[in-house]
Amino acid sequence: MRKLIVANYKMNGNKKLFADIVKKINKYKVKDTKIVLCPPFVYLDEFKIKSNSVFLGCQDITNIDNSKSTGQISPNMLHEFSVKYVIVGHSERRSLGENDELINEKVHVCINNDLMPIICVGEKKKSDKLDAVLTQIQSALKGIEKSYVPIIAYEPVWAIGTGKLPTVSRINKVADMIRSYISDLGYKNSVVLYGGSVSAQNYDEIINANIDGLLLGGVSLKFDEFIEIVKGIDHV
């Protein structure tokens, strides 16, 4: 299966940086990966992508189907910019108060509107039990058709932006646990990504884990390092 590499620019970047990233990504010939770029909403229009292996994503979506919603972004607005993927339930949004119920509503909004949610889950502390991860998955997928293929990004909160990484064997253990849990819930397939402190220096170790791709934060802003990771995965 083609590996999925997701760039989460978070609340970073500006027109100049994104124009440069788009110019460079449009020149890169993707071989065997799928790339998803997730800029802040206000920059979506800067992303005129010319490759059919590079897709546009965003970092959030509304949970309500009502135009009287100041500040919210609807699926139709995202379709106007050809957005295909939506990061849902990132720990940085959970820490702003998003709970499992709200995340489940957002997953429904995505799926009902032909957008693919990338559902982020992860334990807060390294010493935390992993049951919390399964609870997050179960809540996020409540009421979602079994024919759907969930995309789950395993992102231990303690590894995000800290330079601390789980071992490959821990990633394998959690990825296997996630897959078998999703299968027990009745889904035939799933896509499991890893995210948290992946860099050009450590990705080659991480990508040997039993995962279907990566969710990259900080390193996405440094195009040379980002493309080094993409190339390393793309050309194997």
Distance CA 34, CA 10 (A): 20
Q: Least distance to ligand PGA from the beta carbon of 129, Å? A: 22
Distance CA 178, CA 172 (A): 10
Q: Which residue number, 95 or 99, has a Cβ lying nearer to ligand PGA?
A: 95
Site residues (vs ligand PGA, CB under 6 A): 8, 155, 160-161, 195-198, 215-218
Q: Which residue number, 57 or 196, has a Cβ lying nearer to ligand PGA?
A: 196
Strands 191-195 and 3-8: unpaired
Distances (CA, A) of 60 to 24, 83, 200: 25, 11, 26
Q: Least distance to ligand PGA from the beta carbon of 97, Å? A: 17
**Catalytic residue IDs:** 90, 155
Q: Least distance to ligand PGA from the beta carbon of 84, Å? A: 18
Identity (one letter) of the amino acid at 5? I
Q: Which residue number, 39 or 195, has a Cβ lying nearer to ligand PGA?
A: 195
**For the chain, how many residues are written?**
236
Distance CA 84, CA 218 (A): 22
Q: Least distance to ligand PGA from the beta carbon of 197, Å? A: 4
Q: Which residue number, 92 or 187, has a Cβ lying nearer to ligand PGA?
A: 92
> Scanning the structure block, which residue is given the tokens 């990233």?
21
